[in-house]
């Protein structure tokens, strides 16, 4: 089961749960707010699995429909963000298995987005991590992405990327050292 890999405050977590319950009642504004709050994070999960911007957008599109459809089955005592991530993850895996979507080799498409006039906003706060990530090799970027956004273990990353476990471990270690140095 996908664990909660992004820290939210209790208040934020509660708000996400409320939004899912409101979506179940047909509240369109709740859907917009839900998307604004965690759309980017859900996209990151999809991108980690699809490794292709276009396919990740398709996965997010279908996942949001499922979230609307299944919102009424959401148990309010549970973690809404983890629930939404699970839907994204399963939608992505279904597409890979049953619809023949091809997984890309890396997540570099994300870093190749142009900074101006693109579909993706760039507001400056995250520029330091973005440029730090660009100092990593493709393989290092991918393992970091899968570890931090998709909450995968070394074994899972190894299976996903066809790298040996020891290579995955080395890449993670090297990448984290570089990032820590660059982000200091």
Which of 122, 137, 159, 166 forms a contact with other proteins (CB under 8 A)?
122
Q: In angstroms, give the least distance from the CB of 162 to other proteins.
A: 19
Contact yes or no for 163/171 (Cβ under 8 A): yes
Site string for other proteins, 12-51 (x = CB under 8 A): -----------x--xxx--xx--x---xxx-xx-------
Interface with other proteins includes 7 (CB under 8 A)? yes
Question: Residues binding other proteins: what is the number (CB under 8 A)?
Answer: 54
Q: Does 144 bind other proteins (CB under 8 A)?
A: yes
What Cα–Cα distance (Å) separates residue 105 from each residue in 18, 60, 161, 163, 169? 37, 19, 8, 12, 18
- Residue 120 or 164: which CB sits closer to other proteins? 120
CA 162 to chain centre: 20
Name the residue nearer to other proteins (CB basis): 129 or 137: 129
For other proteins, which residue of 136, 141, 147, 163 counts as binding (CB under 8 A)? Answer: 147
Whole-angstrom distance, CA of residue 23 vs CA of residue 25: 5
Q: Report, in Å, the least distance between residue 58 CB and other proteins.
A: 9
Contact indicator for 133, 179 with CB cutoff of 8 Å:
yes
Q: Which residues bind other proteins (CB under 8 A)?
A: 5-7, 23, 26-28, 31-32, 35, 39-41, 43-44, 56-57, 60-62, 64-70, 73-75, 86, 90, 119-123, 125-126, 128-130, 132, 144, 147-149, 153-154, 172, 176, 179-180, 183
């Amino acid at each position: 089961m996908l664990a909660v890999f992004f820290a939210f405050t209790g208040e934020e977590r509660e708000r996400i749960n409320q939004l899912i319950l409101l979506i179940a009642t047909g509240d369109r504004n709740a859907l917009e707010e839900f998307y604004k709050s965690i759309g980017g994070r859900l996209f990151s999960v999809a991108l980690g699995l699809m490794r292709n911007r276009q396919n990740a957008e398709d996965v997010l599109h279908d996942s949001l429909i499922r979230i609307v459809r299944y919102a009424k089955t959401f148990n309010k005592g549970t973690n809404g963000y983890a629930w939404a991530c699970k839907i994204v993850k399963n939608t992505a895996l279904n597409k890979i298995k049953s619809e023949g979507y091809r997984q890309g080799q890396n997540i570099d498409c994300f870093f190749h987005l142009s900074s101006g006039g693109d579909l993706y906003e760039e507001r400056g706060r995250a520029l330091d991590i973005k440029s730090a990530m660009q100092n990593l090799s493709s393989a290092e970027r991918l393992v970091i992405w899968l570890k931090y956004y998709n909450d995968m273990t070394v074994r899972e990353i190894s299976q996903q990327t066809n790298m040996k476990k020891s290579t995955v471990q080395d890449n993670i270690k090297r990448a984290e050292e570089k990032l820590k140095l660059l982000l200091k």
